[in-house]
Amino acid sequence: MSTSAVPVNLDEKLSQFSELWAQKKVATLNDYEVKLAKLKGEFVWHTHEDTDELFLVLSGRLTIQLTDGNVVLGPGELFVVPRGVEHCPVADEETAILLLEPAGTLNTGDAGGRMTKAAEPLS
Amino acid sequence: MSTSAVPVNLDEKLSQFSELWAQKKVATLNDYEVKLAKLKGEFVWHTHEDTDELFLVLSGRLTIQLTDGNVVLGPGELFVVPRGVEHCPVADEETAILLLEPAGTLNTGDAGGRMTKAAEPLS
């Protein structure tokens, strides 16, 4: 344990990348991954058929558009999008989030397209 | 979705209880639970044989004692205690944390004893 027993400082990890919409893996919990991302603008409408997805806003403001309304999250607020629920994140200002979901969950879910990108380790 | 599409504000949830070492459920993610707790003092040494356990400090300072050293977490820092690793949280000042682990994970793991308490919903 001794070499890996170092906390993950979220601000420090966020300072290590600037790419928007990339998902950076910072920890694993069983078969789940904790990921950080920076968002600005609108993502794509998509659905994860097999898993819920947790969003925790660290800075900025995130709107999660759902087909029957929006959820608006500020810093220190979290929301779980249930599996099978179509959603589309949008951020008017640059927003930093923590994401939690099973390893291998694709960012664009069932939608695919040019914004599809596998999560990457953040060293 | 419309009636449940409300974000979880962590500060607001923390303001709703004061009991130390109680785990308050604020969200579920598949078969995992997101829980909040307030800690002060020393817990008990214990192990979760079947699961990793994620600690994210929201305020205060948490030391996670491990058999070969300590991990000290401030606000915005997280640490995952791997399954099977004996640990004992201690907080010199009152500390608020977010915990994430599979539903039904007992706070005292294999140790049992008087501090054992099931997680409770926070309305």
Determine, for residues A10 and B52 on separate chains, whether the beta-carbon distance falls below 8 Å: no
Number of domains in chain A: 1
Q: Let me know if residue B100 belongs to a domain.
A: yes
A37 touching B (Cβ < 8 Å): no
In a domain, A20, yes or no: yes
Residue A116 lies inside a defined structural domain of this protein:
no
Amino acid at A114: R
Nearest Cα to Cα of residue A13 among A43, A46, A36, A40:
A36
Within-domain flag for B10: no
Closest chain B residue by Cα to residue A53 = B29
Strands (E), chain A: 8-9, 24-29, 32-42, 53-59, 62-66, 69-73, 77-81, 87-102, 120-121
Residue B91, in any domain of the structure: yes
Domain extent at residue A76 = 10-104
Hey, of A26, A34, A78, A98, which one would you mutate to test binding to chain B, going by the most B CBs within 10 A of its CB? A78
Tell me the nearest-neighbour CA distance from B114 into chain A, angstroms: 27
The mean pLDDT of B110-119, rounded to a whole number, is 88
Nearest CB to A7; choose among B52, B66, B78: B78
Condensed to tens digits (0 to 9), the pLDDT of residues A41-91 reads 999 999 999 999 999 999 999 999 999 999 999 999 999 999 999 999 999
Residues of A in contact with B62 (CB under 8 A): none
**pLDDT, tens digit (0-9, with 9 covering 90-100), for A77-101:** 999 999 999 999 999 999 999 999 9
Go through chain A and tell me how many residues it has.
123
Q: What's the pLDDT score for residue B15?
A: 98
A114 Cα to chain B: minimum distance (Å): 28
| Complex confidence, ipTM | 0.93
What are the C-alpha distances in Å from A18 to residues A54, A56, B25? 21, 18, 33
Q: Determine contact: A49 vs chain B, CB below 8 A.
A: no
Sorting pLDDT into bands at 50, 70 and 90, what band is B4? low
Is the CB of B71 less than 8 angstroms away from the CB of A10?
Answer: no
Q: Output the domain CATH number for residue A69.
A: 2.60.120.10
Pairing relation of β-strands A120-121 and A87-102? unpaired
Q: Residues A99, A54: contact at Cβ < 8 Å?
A: yes
Kindly state whether residue B4 falls inside one of the protein's structural domains: no
In a domain, residue A98? The reply is yes
How far is residue A39's CA from residue B37's CA, in Å, rounded to a whole number?
Answer: 29
Q: Is B82 part of a structural domain of the chain? A: yes
What is the model's pTM?
0.94
CA distance A24 to chain B (A): 15
Q: What is the DSSP letter of B79?
A: E
The answer to whether the Cβ–Cβ distance between A2 and B69 falls below 8 Å is yes
CA-based diameter of chain A, in Å?
49
Backbone angles phi, psi at B113, to 5 degrees: 100, -175
DSSP, collapsed to helix, strand or coil, labels residue B12 as helix
Is B29 an interface residue toward A (CB < 8 Å)?
yes
pLDDT at B17 over 80: yes
Answer whether B40's CB lies under 8 Å from B22's CB. Answer: no
Q: Cβ of A93 under 8 Å from any chain B Cβ?
A: no
Among B32, B68, B81, B97, pick the best mutation site for testing chain A contact (most A Cβ within 10 A). Answer: B32
